[in-house]
Structure 1
Amino acid sequence: MKIITVVGARPQFVKAAVVSRALQHHGGMQELIVHTGQHYDNNMSDIFFEEMQIPQPAYNLEIKESLHGMMTARMMMGIEKILLDEKPNAVLVYGDTNSTMAASLAAAKLHIPVAHVEAGLRSFNMQMPEEINRIVTDKVSNLLFCPTQTAVDNLQAEGYTQSFYHIHLTGDVMYDAALFYFERSAPRIIEQLQLQDKQFILATIHRAENTKNILHLVSIVEALNELNKQQQVVVPLHPRTSKLIGQLSVKPLFTIIEPVGYFDMLQLLHNCSLVITDSGGLQKEAYFFKKFCVIMREQTEWKELTEHGFATIAGSNKEQIILQSQNFISNHFTSDIALYGDGNAGEKIANILENYLN
C-alpha cells in the first residue's frame, strides 16, 4: 500500500515524522513524502532530517509564490502530476497550510482518499487564511483525525456525520513529538544564553496581525519591556521581525535571539517560567511542558486551554499582556487531565489508516 504525505513547512515535517515512524512499523505500508517548498527554512538541512529521524522528501516542488491563489494553483498542478504518476492508495495531510489544502483538493478530484491530521480545528475567524484551508480540507477528507474532543465537537456542530466521514479522536501528534524529541535534546541553548531555570519568560512574535500593525507591535514591545524589568524575557525572532522592531520609536530591552531549531525550542519551553506568543503550536507546547501561556491574538484554535485556565487571550493589549503574565507567574501549574491524548496519536493514526485501506 502506498501513502503520499504532503507537507510544506518545518512544523509539518515534525508532525509527519511521528506518523512516519508508526507507518514503518506496519508491514506493507510504503510512504513517499512530497515537500511543496511553501516555507523556506535555513534549518531544514540534511542534519535536520538526520537528527529528527525524518525520511527525506521523495519530491520537492520548490514553490515559493507570495500570492495565495498562485501558490495554491502551482501546488495543485505539481501534486496532481505526482499523484497520477505514483497512484497512491491515500494522501496524508497535516494542519492548515496552503500545501494542505492544495494536496487535499488535488487528491479529492482524482478520487484518492484524503486523511487529515489535526482535523476539526476552528478559530472562527475567516480573515485567517488558515481557517479557510482547514474548512476546505476537512470538507474533502475521508479520514478526519482530531487532536481533541473540541475538534470532534466542531465537526459535529457543522453537520459532519460518521455515516459519510470517518471521524477519529486520536490525540495530538505534537504531544507525541514533544515527548520523543525532548528525550533526545540537550540544554545547549540554556547554557549558551546562561539562562536560569524557571527564571525567564519565553516569547515569540510572528503573525502578520502583530508584525504588520505598528500599533500592535509597539504595544507588545512595551509590554515585554515592562515584564523584562521583573524577569528576563527571551524572544527568538525572525530577522525580518527583528528589523521591524528595530525601526520602532520604542526600543526593545528584552533579549532577542536568532530563530532556534526544534530541539532548542523544547529546551527553552522546559526551562522557562511562562510563554507569551501569537503562535498556535507554541500554545499547546507550553501546556505539554506545564507552562501557562499568554496568547497575543484575539482568538485561539485551542480553546480547551483557555477554558481550563492554562492560557489566556490578551491580544496586543499592553496592560492585559502585563497583567495576565504577572498573574500566571505567581501561580503554580497543575493539571490532572490529558487534553491532547496519551502520546500515542501516531500509532493510532497508522492503525486506523491501515484498517481503512484494507
Structure 2
Amino acid sequence: MKILNIVGARPNFIKVAPLHKAFRTYPAIESKIVHTGQHYDTQLSDIFFHQLDLPQPDYQLNVCPETPTRQTADILLKFEQVLLTEQPDWILVVGDVTSTLACALAASQAGVCIAHVEAGLRSGDRQMPEERNRTITDALAELLFVTEPAGLHNLRREGISDGRVHFVGNVMIDTLAQYRQKANELDTVGAMGLISGSYVLMTMHRPSNVDSEEGLNRILKIVEETACRKTVLFSLHPRTKASLLRNGLMMRLMAIPNVRLLEPQGYLEFLNLMEHATAIITDSGGIQEETTYLNVPCLTFRNSTERPVTVELGTNHLLADLNPETVRQKLTEILEGRAKMGSVPPLWDGQTAGRIAEIMHNTPIRIKKA
C-alpha cells in the first residue's frame, strides 16, 4: 500500500509528522511526503521538518505564492504529475488549507482514494475559505477521521455513511505530547528574559481580522489595552505584517510600550511560549486545541468555531468582535483566578496516529480504474 501525505502549511506539518512515523511501522505501507510549498517562508515551513524529525519531502511542488485560486490551479497541474508517476493507493490530506482541497480534487479526478484527517469540522460560516475546503474534501474522501464528537454529527447530517467515518481523536495532540518536554528544555521563555505567567501571547492572521484598516485598528487597541496589564508577545504572521505595513500602522504598533513583536516561531519555540502564557489571544484554529490540552486560557476572535469542544470542554472563549472591552473583562477574570477550568476531550491522548495507521492498514485497497 502506497500513501502520499500532503503538507503545505504550518499546521499540516504538525499533523503529518506522527502519521508518517506511524505508517512506517507497517512493512506493508510505503509512506511518502508531498510538500506543495503553499507556505514558502522558511519559518513557516522548513524549520518544521527539522524540529519534527520529518524527512525531506519526496516531492516539492513549489506552487506559486499567489491567490488561493491560482494556487489551486497550480497544485492541480503539478500534483497530477505526481499521481501519474507514483500511482498511489491513497492520498492523505489534513485540515482545510488550499493544498488540502486541491490535492483531494486531483486525486478524485485520477481515481485515487482519499483519507481526510480532521474531517467533519464545521464553523457554519461559508464565508471562510477553510469551511468550503473542508466541506468539499469530506464529500470526496473515502475515509474520514474525526477529532471530536461534533464532527460525527456534522458528517451524518450531510449524508456521509457511517462506514466511511472513524472517531480517532486529535493527531495534533500526538505531536504536542511527544515534543512538550523537548520544548520546555529549549526554554524559549527564559531565553527571552521572561518568566512563566508574565505575558500574554498573541497571534492574528485571518483575512476578516487583518486585511482591513478597521480590523487592524481594533487589534492595536486590544494590544494597547492588554499591554497595560501584562507584557504582550505578538507573533506577526507574514499576512498581518504586510497588512500593517500597507496601511501605515506598523510604527504605531512598534511604539506601544510593553509589547514585543516576534517573527513567526518554530514549533518548539511557540509550544513553550504557549504553555507558559497567562493567556493567548488569537484567531487561529489549531491554537484553540493546543491551549485546551495545555489548560491555558484562550480568547479566540471569530464569529464561530469549527472546534466547539474547545469551548464546551476546553479553555477556549469565543469572542465575536474585536472589542477591547471584552478582552479587558476576560483578562480580568483570568488574572483574578476566575478562568474556567477545562478538561481534555475524549481520545486526545497522543495515540491518534496509531489508530489512523491501523485503520488504513486494514482497509482493503480499491482496484484502480482502467
Is 1:355–2:347 an aligned residue pair? Answer: no
Cα distance between partner residues in 2 of 1:337 and 1:289: 9
| Distance change >3 Å, CA 9–CA 304, structure 1 → 2 | same
Partner of residue 221, structure 1: 220
Cα distance between partner residues in 2 of 1:337 and 1:86: 39
3-state SS of paired residue (1:160): coil
What's the offset of the Cα at 1:323?
Answer: 1.6
Cα distance between partner residues in 2 of 1:72 and 1:214: 28
* One-letter code aligned to 2:318: I
| Distance change >3 Å, CA 260–CA 50, structure 1 → 2 | closer
1:250-297 deviations in whole A, cap 9, x for unaligned?
A: 753322122111000110011111111011111111111111111111
Q: Could you tell me whether the CA contact under 8 Å between 2:292 and 2:343 is conserved in 1?
A: no
What's the offset of the Cα at 1:337?
Answer: 4.5
Q: Could you tell me whether the CA contact under 8 Å between 2:108 and 2:140 is conserved in 1?
A: yes
1:209-253 deviations in whole A, cap 9, x for unaligned?
A: 111122222122112211211111111113553464463367533
Is 1:346–2:353 an aligned residue pair? Answer: yes
What's the offset of the Cα at 1:205?
Answer: 1.2
Partner of residue 195, structure 1: 194
Partner of residue 36, structure 2: 36
Q: Could you tell me whether the CA contact under 8 Å between 2:18 and 2:174 is conserved in 1?
A: yes
Segment drifting more, 251-260 vs 190-199: 251-260
Is 1:258–2:280 an aligned residue pair? Answer: no
| Distance change >3 Å, CA 306–CA 18, structure 1 → 2 | same
Q: Could you tell me whether the CA contact under 8 Å between 1:204 and 1:237 is conserved in 2?
A: yes
What's the offset of the Cα at 1:191?
Answer: 1.8
1:293-323 deviations in whole A, cap 9, x for unaligned?
A: 1111111111122234622222312211222
Partner of residue 144, structure 2: 144
User: How many residues are treated as equivalent by the alignment?
Assistant: 356
Match of 1:298 among 273, 287, 303: 303
| Distance change >3 Å, CA 329–CA 64, structure 1 → 2 | farther
1:83-122 → structure 2 map (5 Å cutoff):
83-122=83-122
What's the offset of the Cα at 1:139?
Answer: 0.2
Match of 1:334 among 341, 344, 352: 341
Match of 2:278 among 261, 269, 273: 273
What's the offset of the Cα at 1:43?
Answer: 2.6
Cα distance between partner residues in 2 of 1:171 and 1:70: 33
Cα distance between partner residues in 1 of 2:340 and 2:27: 42
Cα distance between partner residues in 1 of 2:112 and 2:37: 22
Q: Could you tell me whether the CA contact under 8 Å between 1:122 and 1:151 is conserved in 2?
A: yes
Q: Could you tell me whether the CA contact under 8 Å between 1:10 and 1:41 is conserved in 2?
A: no
If the length of structure 1 is used for normalisation, what is the TM-score?
Answer: 0.93
Partner of residue 236, structure 2: 237
| Distance change >3 Å, CA 5–CA 153, structure 1 → 2 | same
Segment drifting more, 327-336 vs 257-266: 327-336
Cα distance between partner residues in 1 of 2:56 and 2:204: 30
Q: CA RMSD in A?
A: 2.0
Gaps of 5+ in 1: none
What's the offset of the Cα at 1:179?
Answer: 0.5
1:185-228 deviations in whole A, cap 9, x for unaligned?
A: 23432122211111211111111111112222212211221121
Cα distance between partner residues in 2 of 1:335 and 1:205: 23
1:96-128 deviations in whole A, cap 9, x for unaligned?
A: 111111111111122211000010011111111
* One-letter code aligned to 2:95: G
* One-letter code aligned to 2:328: I
Q: Could you tell me whether the CA contact under 8 Å between 1:39 and 1:64 is conserved in 2?
A: no
Partner of residue 166, structure 2: 168
Match of 2:291 among 286, 289, 314: 286
Cα distance between partner residues in 1 of 2:211 and 2:272: 29
What's the offset of the Cα at 1:347?
Answer: 0.3
Q: Could you tell me whether the CA contact under 8 Å between 2:279 and 2:296 is conserved in 1?
A: yes
* One-letter code aligned to 2:33: I
Cα distance between partner residues in 2 of 1:38 and 1:300: 24
If the length of structure 2 is used for normalisation, what is the TM-score?
Answer: 0.90
Identity %: 35
Q: Could you tell me whether the CA contact under 8 Å between 1:274 and 1:329 is conserved in 2?
A: no
Cα distance between partner residues in 2 of 1:159 and 1:289: 35
Partner of residue 207, structure 2: 208
Cα distance between partner residues in 2 of 1:115 and 1:237: 32
Q: Could you tell me whether the CA contact under 8 Å between 2:236 and 2:264 is conserved in 1?
A: yes
Q: Could you tell me whether the CA contact under 8 Å between 2:51 and 2:268 is conserved in 1?
A: no
Q: Could you tell me whether the CA contact under 8 Å between 2:10 and 2:45 is conserved in 1?
A: no
Cα distance between partner residues in 2 of 1:66 and 1:243: 14
Cα distance between partner residues in 2 of 1:37 and 1:94: 15
